[in-house]
Structure 1
Amino acid sequence: MSALRVLLVDDEPLALRRLETLFGDIDDVEVIGTASTGDEAEAKIATLRPDLVMLDISMPQKSGIRVAADLASDPRPEIIFVTAFEQYAPDAFEVDAADYLLKPVRFDRLRQAVERARRRRTMRDAIDRLAGTPAGTREEAIWVQIATGNLRLPIAQIEWVEAARDYVLFHTSTRSYIHRISMAALEQLFDPQQLMRVHRSTFIRPALVNGVQRLGKGLIALEMEDGAVVQVGPSYVKIVLDRLSLA
Structure 2
Amino acid sequence: MTVRVLVVDDEPLARRGVIKRLAAHNDMQVVGEAGDGKAALSAILDTTPDLVFMDVQMPGMGGLEALGTLSPRERPMTIFLTAYDQFALRAFEVQALDYLLKPIDDERFAEALDRSRETLATRRGRSTASGLQMLLAAQRGTPDYASRFAVRIGNRVAFIDAADIDWIEAMGDYAGLHVGSKVYLLRERLHQLSRRLDPTQFMRIHRSTIVRVNRIAEMEALSNRDSLLRLHDGTPLRASRTYGEALRAALAG
TM-score surpassing 0.5? Answer: yes
* 1:204 CA displacement: 7.0
In structure 2, the residue matched to 1:89 is 88
* Contact 2:10-2:59 at 8 Å conserved across structures: yes
Instruction: Classify 1:80/1:127 alpha carbon distance in 2 versus 1 (closer, same or farther; 3 Å).
Output: farther
Contact kept, 8 Å, 2:6 with 2:31, in 1: the verdict is: yes
Counterpart Cα distance in 1 of 2:101 and 2:113: 14
Corresponding position of 1:77? 76
Cα offset for 1:207? 3.0
- Are 1:209 and 2:188 counterparts? yes
Equivalences for residues 113-128 of structure 1 within 5 A: 113-124=112-123, 126=135
SS at match of 1:209: coil
CA separation of 1:77 and 1:7: change in aligned 2, threshold 3 A: same
Among 196, 200, 208, the alignment partner of 2:167 is 196
In the alignment, is the contact (CA less than 8 A) between 1:26 and 1:111 conserved in 2?
no
Q: Secondary structure at the match of 1:129?
A: helix
Structure 1 residue runs without a partner (length 5+): 134-151, 158-188, 211-222, 237-247
- Which position in structure 1 is the counterpart of 2:21? 22
Note the C-alpha offset of 1:209. Answer: 3.4
TM-score by length of 1: 0.57
**SS at 2:26's partner residue?**
coil
Q: Distance in 1 between matches of 2:44 and 2:64?
A: 15
1:226 & 1:8 partners in 2: Cα distance? 28
Q: Flag as ranges the 4+ runs of structure 1 deviating above 6 A.
A: none
Q: Is the 8 A contact 2:36 2:60 kept in 1?
A: yes
Identity of aligned residues (%): 33
Tell me the matched-pair count.
169
Q: Compared with structure 1, are the counterparts of its residues 60 and 155 closer, same or farther at alpha carbon in structure 2 (3 Å cutoff)?
A: farther
Q: Residues 120 and 231 of structure 1: is their aligned pair in 2 closer, same or farther, counting only changes over 3 Å? A: closer
Give the C-alpha shift of residue 78 in structure 1. 0.4
The normalised TM-score by structure 2 is 0.56
5+ residue gaps, structure 2: 124-133, 149-161, 178-184, 195-205, 211-227, 229-234, 237-253
Q: Cα gap change, 1:230/1:57 in structure 2, threshold over 3 Å: closer, same or farther?
A: same
1:142 matched residue in structure 2: none
The whole-number CA distance in structure 2 between the counterparts of 1:231 and 1:6 is 29
3-state DSSP of counterpart to 2:86: helix
Q: Is the aligned partner of 1:129 residue 2:146?
A: no
SS in 2 for 1:5: strand
Post-superposition shift, 1:17?
A: 1.1
Give the distance between the partners of 2:67 and 2:74, measured in 1 at CA: 13
Task: State the AA in 2 paired with 1:132.
Answer: G
